[in-house]
Amino acid sequence: MTASGRVGRRPAVIGLLVLVGWAAPTGLRSLLMVMMIYAVFAMAYGLLLGHANQPSLGQSLFFGVGAYGFILPVLRLEAGFWSALGVALAAGAAAALAVGALAVRVSEAYHVIFTALLASVAHLIAKNTTPLTGGTGGLPIQVPAVPLGPWTLSVYDPFTNYLLCLAAAAGVYLGLERVLAAPLGRVWVAIRDNEHRVAFLGYRVYGYKLAAFVVAGTLTALSGALYAVRLRYASAEFFGFEWAILPFVWGVLGGLRTLPGPVVGVVLFTVFQYYVSAWWTHYLILFGILIIVILRWLPAGIVGVLAAARQPRRA
Amino acid sequence: MSELASTLLFLVADGLIWGSLIALIALGLSLIYGIMGIINMAHGDFFMIGAVLAVALSGWLGAFWPALLIAPLLVGALAVPLERWVLRPFEGRPLLTLVGTIGLSFVIQQVALIVFGGTPRRLEAPLAFVVSFAGVALPGYRVVAAALGLLFVAALWALVYRTELGVRIRATMEHPEIADAVGIDTSRVRVLTFGLGAALAAAAGVLAAPITQVFYLMGNDVLLFSYIVVIVGGLGSLEGALAAALVLSGVEALLTVVVSPVEARALMLLAMALVLLVRPRGLFA
C-alpha cells in the first residue's frame, strides 16, 4: 500500500460518513454518533496503552471530568459552547497531569491498581456530592448554540450534532496519525518496546510518559464532553467503573497497537452491546466471558490478526 | 469517662473489628499477588459468596456456625479450577489479570443476582450478649467475629511459616524458577494458594454477614478498601497487609467523627497516594 493511496482514502471515508449521517434513519444515525464519541475515547486509550505502554484503568475519571467540565460552566456561568468545551479539555488535561505525575512513576501493578482505585473513589465522591453533580440522577442542560464563523449551529438538529461528533473523531484520528509518525510518537513506541534503552539514549522517559498520559486524558475529556452534549445531561454514572473497562475492551478487541484498531473494537462492541443488552438483562455475564475470551485468544486484537494474516510470514 | 472518649473508643474498637475481617481479605490478595502475580478483582466476590452462603445456609440449617466451615470449602473448591483453567495464562501480567478477573467478577455477580435476588438482606447475629469495658458496650457477636478473624489470620501465619507447605509457598513466592528447579510442584502451590486465599475471603464474608447488608455487589466496597490496604502495606507483603488492615480501618473509623464516610474513604486514598509518592512499593515491600 503506497503512502499516497493511504492519504487518498481519508477524504472519501469522511465524505461517505457525512452522506450516511445525512441519509440514515434516526436510530442508525444515533448509533453511529455514539460510536464516533466512543472512538475518540478508544483512540486516546490506544495511544496511552498501545503506544506509550501506560496501563491505566482510571480513564473513567477523565471522561466524567470532561462531561462535568462542559455542563457546569454552561449551567453555572452561562458559558458559550466553545468556552465550555475549552474548560472541559483544560479540566481533563489538569486532572491527567495531577494523576499522571504519580501514576507514571510506579510499576505496572501499582499503576493499574492506583488508577483503578482513584477512579472508583472519584465515582463514590461524584455520587455523594449531589449539589455539585446531581448525583446518580444527574443534571440536565440546555446545550448553547454553536457559533462557527458566519454561522450559528444548534446541536438540537440531529445532523449537526452528528457532524460535530464526526469532526471530532476525524480530527483526532488525523491528528494522532501525524503525532504517531512524528518523533514524539516514535519515542512513545520506543519506550513501550524498551524503556531502559530509551533512557540510555538520553531521552527523559518520565516526561514523555507524562505527555502521553495528559494527551490521552484530554482526549478522553473531549469524549466525555461530547457524550454529555449528545445526551444533554451528565450524571455521577459518567464516572462509573465501566467507563474505565470499556476503553480496554475496545482496544483489545480491535487491537491496541494500531490507530484504527480501537475504532474497529468500538464498532464491533457497540453493536454487540446494543443488541445483547436489549435482549438479555444479565448481559454482563456474556460481557465478562467475552473479556476473558478476547484476552486469551485475541491478544493482538482483530486488526492485528488481520494484518498478520495479510503479511507473508518472515523467515 | 467523658462521652467523647467512649465514642472514640467505640469507633476504634469497631474499626479494628472490621480491620480483622479486612485483614483476611487483604492477606489473600497479597498472597495471590505474591505467588501468581494476579491482581484479583473477583476477590471481593469470594467475600460476597461467603456472606450469601451464610444467609442461605442459616436459613436451611437453622444454625449460623456450620456456614463458617462449609462456605470457605465451597468457595475454595470453586476458585481452584478458575485459577488453573481460566487465569493461568494471564499470570504475571498485572493488567491482563486485573481485566480478566473483572470479567470473572461480572459473571459471579450476575449469577449471584439471578440466584439470590437483588434485595439486600440482613442476618440476625447468632450471639446476643454484650461486651462492655471502659464504659463502651460492644455487641458480643462483633467481638467474637473479630477474634475468629484473627484466629484465621494466626492459622494462616502458622501455615505459611511453620509447615512444609508454607516453605513451598514462600519458596515459590521468592524464586519461582529455583523452587521449580529443586522439585517443588509450583503449579500445585499456585492452585492451593489461590483456593486458600478465596476460602479466607469467604470466611470473612460469613463472619461479616450478621454485621452488614448482604447483597450481590457488597464485595466492591470491601475490595476497594482492601486494595488501599494492600498498596499501603506493599503488594506481596503479608506483614504489611496485616498491619495496614488494622491501622487503616481504625483510622478510617476515627475519621468518620469529623467527616462523612465517603470523605473518609477519599482521605484514605490520599494517604495511599502519599505513601506511594514516598515509597513507590508500599511501606513493607
| DSSP annotation string for chain B | --HHHHHHHHHHHHHHHHHHHHHHHHHHHHHHHHHH----TTHHHHHHHHHHHHHHHHHHHS-STHHHHHHHHHHHHHHHHIIIIIIGGGTT-HHHHHHHHHHHHHHHHHHHHHHH-SS-B----S---EEEETTEEEEHHHHHHHHHHHHHHHHHHHHHHHSHHHHHHHHHHH-HHHHHHTT--HHHHHHHHHHHHHHHHHHHHHHHGGGS-B-TTHHHHHHHHHHHHHHHH-TT-HHHHHHHHHHHHHHHHHHTTTS-HHHHHHHHHHHHHHHHHH-TT-S--
Q: How far is B20 from chain A (nearest CA, A)?
A: 21
Dihedral sign from CA coordinates of A195, A198, A202, A207: negative
Question: Which pLDDT belongs to residue B120?
Answer: 93
Q: What percent of chain B has pLDDT over 90?
A: 71
> What pTM, to 2 d.p., does this model score?
0.90
pLDDT in tens, A189-240: 998 888 889 999 989 999 999 999 999 999 999 999 999 999 999 999 999 9
Chain A hits for B100, CB-CB cut-off 8 Å, are 291-292, 295
How many whole angstroms from its chain centre is CA B163? 22
Distance CA A84, CA A244 (A): 24
Which chain B residue is nearest to residue A113, measuring alpha carbons? Answer: B227
Residue B113 has pLDDT above 50, yes or no: yes
Mean pLDDT for B139-162 is 94
Distance from CA of B38 to the nearest CA of A (A): 9
Distance, CA of A264 to CA of A301 (rounded, Å):
10
Residue-level pLDDT at A241: 87
**Torsion of Cα atoms, B30 then B110 then A234 then A228, to 10°:** 100
- How near does any CA of chain A get to the CA of B106, in Å? 5
Look over chain B and give the mean of its residue pLDDT values, rounded to a whole number.
Answer: 92
Measured CA to CA, the distance from residue A26 to residue A9 in angstroms comes to 27
Query: A139: part of which helix (H) or strand (E)?
Result: strand A139-140
Q: How many whole angstroms separate alpha carbon B24 and alpha carbon B148?
A: 10
Please report the residues numbered 168 through 227 in chain B whose beta carbons come closer than 8 angstroms to any beta carbon of chain A: 220, 224, 227
Rounded to a whole number of angstroms, the distance from the CA of A100 to the nearest CA of chain B is: 12
pLDDT band of A305, cuts 50, 70, 90: low
Residue A1 has a pLDDT of: 42
Asked whether residue A304 carries a pLDDT value surpassing 80, the answer given is no
B78 vs A283 pLDDT, higher one:
B78
| Whether A117 and B272 lie within 8 Å, measured CB to CB | yes
How far apart CA A21 and CA A166 sit, in angstroms, is 9
The secondary structure of residue A49, as a DSSP letter, is I
Encode burial over B162-182: b for 16+ CB neighbours within 10 A, e otherwise.
eeeeeebbbbbbeebeebeee
CA distances from A178 to A124, A171, A184, A185, A264 (A): 38, 11, 10, 9, 20
Kind of pairing between the strands at A233-234 and A139-140: antiparallel
From its phi and psi, is residue A296 left (phi > 0), alpha (psi between -120 and 50) or beta? alpha
Q: What is the band of B216 on the pLDDT scale with cuts at 50, 70, 90?
A: very high
Contacts of B6 by beta carbon, 8 Å cutoff, 6+ apart: B134, B135, B136
Are B226 and B46 in contact by the 8 Å Cβ rule? The answer is no
CB-based contact A262:A251 (threshold 8 Å): yes
Which residue of A lies nearest to B104 if distances are taken between CA atoms?
A288
User: Residue A127's closest chain B neighbor by CA?
Assistant: B262
Q: Do A102 and B277 touch (CB under 8 A)?
A: yes
For B61-110, write each residue's pLDDT tens digit: 999 999 999 999 999 999 999 999 999 999 988 888 988 999 999 999 99
SS3 A80: coil
- Asked whether residue B133 carries a pLDDT value surpassing 90, the answer given is no
Grid coordinates representing A6 are 493511504
- Stretch A148-161: mean pLDDT: 90
Q: Is a pLDDT exceeding 70 seen at residue A108?
A: yes
A contacts of B265 (beta carbons < 8 Å) = 121, 124
- Contact (Cβ atoms closer than 8 angstroms) between residue A138 and residue A237: yes
Measure CA of the first residue to CA of the last residue in chain A; give whole Å. 21
